[in-house]
Amino acid sequence: MAKKFVYFFSKGKSEGNATMKSILGGKGANLAEMCSIGVPVPPGFTVSTEVCDYYYKQGNKYPSQLQKQIDANIAMLEKTMGAKLGDSNNPLLVSVRSGAAVSMPGMMDTVLNLGLNDAAVAGLAKKTGNQRLAWDAYRRFIDMFGNVVMGVDHDHFEEKLTTIKKKYKAEQDNDLTVTQLKELVHEYKNIYKKYVKKPFPTDAKSQLMAAINAVFGSWNIERAVIYRRINKITGLLGTAVNVQAMVFGNMGSTSGTGVAFTRNPSNGEKKFFGEFLINAQGEDVVAGIRTPEPIEELKKEMPKIYKQLDGIKEKLEKHYRDIQDVEFTIQEGRLFMLQTRTGKRTGLAAVKIAYDMVKEKMITPQEALMRIEGEQLNQLLFPIFDPIAVSKAKKIVTGLPAGPGAASGQVVFTADDAQSWKRQGKKVILVRHETSPEDVAGMDAAEGILTSTGGMTSHAAVVARGWGKCCIAGCSSLNINYSKKQITVGKTIVKEGDYLSLDGTTGEVMLGNVKSTTSPVISGVVENNSVAKKSPIYKMFIQIMKWADQYRKLNIRTNADTPKDSAAARRLGAEGIGLTRTEHMFFEGERIWAVREFILAQDLKAREVALKKLLPYQRKDFEGIFKEMDGLPVTIRLLDPPLHEFLPNDADGEKEMAKRLKISSAELKDLVKKLHEINPMLGHRGCRLSITYPELCIMQTTAIIEAAANMAKKGIKVFPEIMIPLIGTVNEFEYLEEIVRKTAESILSKVKSKVKYTVGTMIEIPRAALVADKVASKAEFFSFGTNDLTQMTFGYSRDDAGVFLPEYIEKKILSADPFQTIDQEGVGQLVETAVRLGRKTNKKLKCGICGEHGGDPESVKFCHKAGLNYVSCSPYRVPIARLAAAQIVIQEKGKSKK
């Protein structure tokens, strides 16, 4: 039997159905399905995506059986409609539309009113009793066919329309009379002939074949290819072509057309949402020539049609069990549905619709969880801009959306200014080339942070995400001039004190103070605000998280450096701390001077003096964190970054440093110079610091264990996990482990405490992953530092890769930024290897991840599959990680059922 390439659909007689999207495309599959369930749809047929695939694979040729199948389907359509293509009494007119398995709105070609010629136009006029409609359809068809199918510039037709309108003093297209439209049709045919070098085709079947050809050809036009690339649409066979009997919404006051959603797609409200136009065709709605009316008005204007439409809406939603986005046309009081598809929605709507549908018993909690994307859930947590205000705002540049939310404020260029302006009650946006740990107080004071360099794991990005603060990083076209205190972007100049607004979800930077609102989830969950807890958004969030927790197997921890962050993360569901970066506390207040004294000290004694000053600060910090994390594990990492990061980098700072150390500026400069490293990321950092300065490891261990013992005495349950960073060999680990244990044991026996602690390591150097069996024979836990592991596996600097990564992704050398989504093939292989080898020698080895990937849904799912015990992420990513961890379990359950 010949292979089937064409599928017919008409009331109760469909050859396809909704499950056949891959070969019928979304539109074709749903048209067929709607016919089967008794929804009124103009009949037609779908030429499958397999034809598109064949066409491109065989060098623009069609399967030999295709023509025969199309002819048979035309005959069937003619019979169903009781009309004939090109007939002078009762012509059949069709629309020819594209439709891939994944919707690509407006990207490919469409031809309407096909089948018109000099005979059919007369037939259409007779049949409709409407000469104007017939000739207007004819001129539109020549324009559309000429442009879409034959590539004649639409402007040529448009110019002629303007000339004729001027000639007859017609203001609107609608003002042209039948005679004038006939003249226009004549002129349009001339234009067609001039550019195509052939007369306009009068044979309706030839028109149809040419239009089908054009739609298949449009699969690979530039905008469609780019759209697929941007939206990561891959693996499709091509587009299908839908040929469908035309219905006219422009046949007078009992006709019309519209688009609608079965629920509100921006806030999820269960209310029919849409617009329509009386006496119009679909393209009039899209072109925005006339302003459509809200769908409720249809209730007044055509109550019967509204009732029918409302019934269809209910039917479709029940049938598809999801929000639908529909198109409809009313022809002289008869309603036809032209399309239905799953409606695109905002984050808030996604959550509300999923939640409501469970309550309505339409879907299960598992399905609800699978329908919410991590980033959609995230949208509930952050302040958002008012969409109307955004549409009016001037966007000046787009950078990397590094920290989510919406922030507006006055521009300042230094961390000090950020703090002092805030003290004066102002809201500020801190603008820097890149931030450093020295800027943290200013970053904290700012509403949002904007940087011109640095990627998604740059300092600004990591810190901002940790706080749930809005940040746009790597805005390379920003020209920041610190001395003039201004930014230049193209011709726009932004001065200190001017307002900027940052959209951390899209990466857009806007001029002015754009209006925004706070999330009730954050007020309710993190700030414990009782009013916010009554908000439906808060309640939905709590319920969704409860469902997620019922399924997930992974534990979710957080990366937090302060008691405040720890508390916020715990409220958001963190089950412990996976990473405390001790260095983040080094900048606060007076302690930075003790840190600097330690770094610049010339002998052990001087270093010990400095460290003694630091000890109480660290101990207090840890006590605060243990208290907040009562009953949960807390992983604290020994000092990691290169030391020069803590030194002053301006003249004033150096002067004060010299004064405090009682040395000359020249001597200080000399000392600082000695600390300079060409390649600090591969230099004196991580465990290497404590190996060269064991006294540092002793001080930090002392602070941790004393804090733990003090808190335990107060009845707090403490589970300290001491983590050694950046090891590459087991010897490094062993050397430091011994110091840690000796120090810890001596303190515990001195204070008579029975606190239990563990010692483990980060795995962030590929070598460590490869010798994980040896490392695990000593270490009690592994935490994958996938920021560094990615940096060292690829050899891409995590701070500089922003320069070339976008192009790598654009050119498909990489499918995604490996600093955001874990590279499963390479870095992932190292993770899997290390887990496998590690558990060989240490069956109880606890494994987690604390790189930024711990908050990325795809990476979380990978971590589950790799057998990790937990993921650790920034406090405000905890809910996303909880959701992703549940989704992978549900996904696996679904697979094992099949």
Please list the active-site residues. Answer: 459, 850
From the CB of 850, what's the least distance to ligand PEP, in Å? 5
Q: Could you write out the three-class secondary structure of 332-384?
A: CCEEEEEEEEECCCCHHHHHHHHHHHHHCCCCCHHHHHHHCCHHHHHCCCCCE
- Residue closer to ligand PEP (CB basis): 108 or 850: 850
From the CB of 327, what's the least distance to ligand PEP, in Å? 48
From the CB of 275, what's the least distance to ligand PEP, in Å? 49
Q: Residue 274 binds which entry of Mg ion, ligand PEP, none, with Cβ cut-offs from 5 to 8 Å by kind?
A: none
**From the list 217, 347, 728, 785, which residue makes contact with ligand PEP (rule: CB under 6 A)?**
785
Q: Residue 123 binds which entry of ligand PEP, Mg ion, none, with Cβ cut-offs from 5 to 8 Å by kind?
A: none
CA contacts within 13 A on the Cβ side of 484: 9
Neighbours of 337 (CB within 10 A): 22
* Tokens describing residue 251: 């046949």
From the CB of 764, what's the least distance to Mg ion, in Å? 5
- Residue closer to ligand PEP (CB basis): 504 or 725: 725
Q: Residue 887 binds which entry of Mg ion, ligand PEP, none, with Cβ cut-offs from 5 to 8 Å by kind?
A: none
**From the list 183, 764, 823, 856, which residue makes contact with ligand PEP (rule: CB under 6 A)?**
764
Residue count, binding to ligand PEP (CB under 6 A): 10
Q: Residue 850 binds which entry of ligand PEP, Mg ion, none, with Cβ cut-offs from 5 to 8 Å by kind?
A: ligand PEP
Give the span between the Cα atoms of 469 and 41, in whole angstroms.
49
From the CB of 787, what's the least distance to Mg ion, in Å? 5
- Residue closer to ligand PEP (CB basis): 584 or 861: 584
* Tokens describing residue 642: 């290169």
Alpha helix segments (H runs only) across 129-281: 131-144, 154-167, 178-196, 204-217, 222-230
Alpha helix segments (H runs only) across 360-489: 365-371, 374-378, 387-392, 415-423, 440-445, 459-467
**Is residue 44 within the footprint of Mg ion (CB under 5 A)?**
no
Q: Which of 811, 859, 818 is nearest to 229 (CA)?
A: 811
Q: Strand order in 6-9's β-sheet?
A: 6-9, 44-47, 239-245, 94-100, 110-114
Instruction: Name the residue with the smallest CB distance to Mg ion.
Output: 788
Whether residue 570 contacts residue 578, with contact meaning beta carbons closer than 8 Å, is answered with no
**From the list 80, 787, 842, 859, which residue makes contact with ligand PEP (rule: CB under 6 A)?**
787
Q: Kindly identify the residues of this chain, within the stretch 781-800, that bind Mg ion according to CB under 5 A.
A: 785, 788
- Residue closer to Mg ion (CB basis): 292 or 851: 851
**Is residue 640 within the footprint of ligand PEP (CB under 6 A)?**
yes
Whether residue 86 contacts residue 115, with contact meaning beta carbons closer than 8 Å, is answered with yes
- Residue closer to Mg ion (CB basis): 685 or 846: 685
Which one of 129-137, 418-426, 442-450, 784-792 is the stretch in contact with ligand PEP (CB under 6 A)? Answer: 784-792
Q: Residue 786 binds which entry of Mg ion, ligand PEP, none, with Cβ cut-offs from 5 to 8 Å by kind?
A: ligand PEP
Q: Residue 820 binds which entry of ligand PEP, Mg ion, none, with Cβ cut-offs from 5 to 8 Å by kind?
A: none
Q: Which of 862, 785, 782 is nearest to 816 (CA)?
A: 862
Q: Kindly identify the residues of this chain, within the stretch 327-346, that bind ligand PEP according to CB under 6 A.
A: none
**Is residue 582 within the footprint of ligand PEP (CB under 6 A)?**
no
Burial class (CB in 10 A: 0-12, 13-18, 19+), 286: exposed
Whether residue 764 contacts residue 679, with contact meaning beta carbons closer than 8 Å, is answered with no
Q: Which of 723, 726, 694 is nearest to 611 (CA)?
A: 694
Q: Residue 737 binds which entry of Mg ion, ligand PEP, none, with Cβ cut-offs from 5 to 8 Å by kind?
A: none
**Is residue 851 within the footprint of ligand PEP (CB under 6 A)?**
yes
- Residue closer to Mg ion (CB basis): 244 or 791: 791
Q: Are strands 239-245 and 94-100 parallel, antiparallel or unpaired?
A: antiparallel
Angle between helices 536-551 and 878-897 (to 10 degrees): 50
Residue whose structure tokens are 């010798």 = 771
Residue whose structure tokens are 């000593």 = 778
From the CB of 786, what's the least distance to ligand PEP, in Å? 5
Q: Residue 581 binds which entry of Mg ion, ligand PEP, none, with Cβ cut-offs from 5 to 8 Å by kind?
A: ligand PEP
- Residue closer to ligand PEP (CB basis): 581 or 596: 581
**From the list 176, 579, 636, 884, which residue makes contact with ligand PEP (rule: CB under 6 A)?**
579
From the CB of 859, what's the least distance to ligand PEP, in Å? 12
Residue whose structure tokens are 């590459």 = 728
Burial 480-513, CB ≥16 within 10 A → b, else e: beeeebbbebeeeebebeebbbbbbbbbbbbbeb
- Residue closer to ligand PEP (CB basis): 347 or 785: 785
From the CB of 803, what's the least distance to Mg ion, in Å? 21
Residue count, binding to Mg ion (CB under 5 A): 3
Which one of 57-65, 291-299, 479-487, 778-786 is the stretch in contact with Mg ion (CB under 5 A)? Answer: 778-786
Alpha helix segments (H runs only) across 470-535: 520-521
Alpha helix segments (H runs only) across 585-678: 591-600, 604-628, 651-661, 665-675
* Tokens describing residue 294: 């809200």
For CA atoms 136, 141, 142, 147, the dihedral sign is positive
Instruction: For residue 174, give Cα distances in angstroms to 116, 125, 181, 186, 520.
Output: 20, 17, 10, 18, 50
Q: Residue 579 binds which entry of Mg ion, ligand PEP, none, with Cβ cut-offs from 5 to 8 Å by kind?
A: ligand PEP
Which one of 403-411, 768-776, 782-790, 834-842 is the stretch in contact with ligand PEP (CB under 6 A)? Answer: 782-790
Q: Which of 214, 468, 366, 157 is nearest to 897 (CA)?
A: 366
- Residue closer to ligand PEP (CB basis): 252 or 683: 683
**From the list 581, 607, 619, 877, which residue makes contact with ligand PEP (rule: CB under 6 A)?**
581
From the CB of 798, what's the least distance to ligand PEP, in Å? 8
Phi (first) and psi of residue 372, to 5 degrees: -105, 125
663 DSSP assignment: -
**Is residue 437 within the footprint of ligand PEP (CB under 6 A)?**
no
Q: Could you write out the three-class secondary structure of 111-160?
A: EEEECCCHHHHHHHHHHHCCHHHHHHHHHHHHHHHHHHHCCCCHHHHHHH
Give the per-residue contact string, 821-850, with ligand PEP (x = CB under 6 A; - = no): -----------------------------x
From the CB of 849, what's the least distance to ligand PEP, in Å? 8
From the CB of 582, what's the least distance to Mg ion, in Å? 13
Q: Could you write out the three-class secondary structure of 777-832?
A: CCCCEEEECHHHHHHHHHCCCCCCHHHCHHHHHHCCCCCCCCCCCCCCCCHHHHHH
**Is residue 597 within the footprint of Mg ion (CB under 5 A)?**
no
Q: Residue 633 binds which entry of Mg ion, ligand PEP, none, with Cβ cut-offs from 5 to 8 Å by kind?
A: none
Q: Strand order in 324-331's β-sheet?
A: 293-294, 273-278, 256-261, 324-331, 334-342
Which one of 374-382, 708-716, 781-789, 799-807 is the stretch in contact with ligand PEP (CB under 6 A)? Answer: 781-789
635 DSSP assignment: E
Q: Kindly identify the residues of this chain, within the stretch 742-771, that bind Mg ion according to CB under 5 A.
A: 764
Which one of 117-125, 533-541, 543-551, 785-793 is the stretch in contact with ligand PEP (CB under 6 A)? Answer: 785-793
- Residue closer to ligand PEP (CB basis): 214 or 579: 579
* Tokens describing residue 312: 């269809």
From the CB of 580, what's the least distance to ligand PEP, in Å? 10
**Is residue 788 within the footprint of ligand PEP (CB under 6 A)?**
yes
Give the span between the Cα atoms of 283 and 288, in whole angstroms.
9
* Sites of contact with ligand PEP (CB under 6 A): 579, 581, 640, 764, 785-788, 850-851
* Sites of contact with Mg ion (CB under 5 A): 764, 785, 788
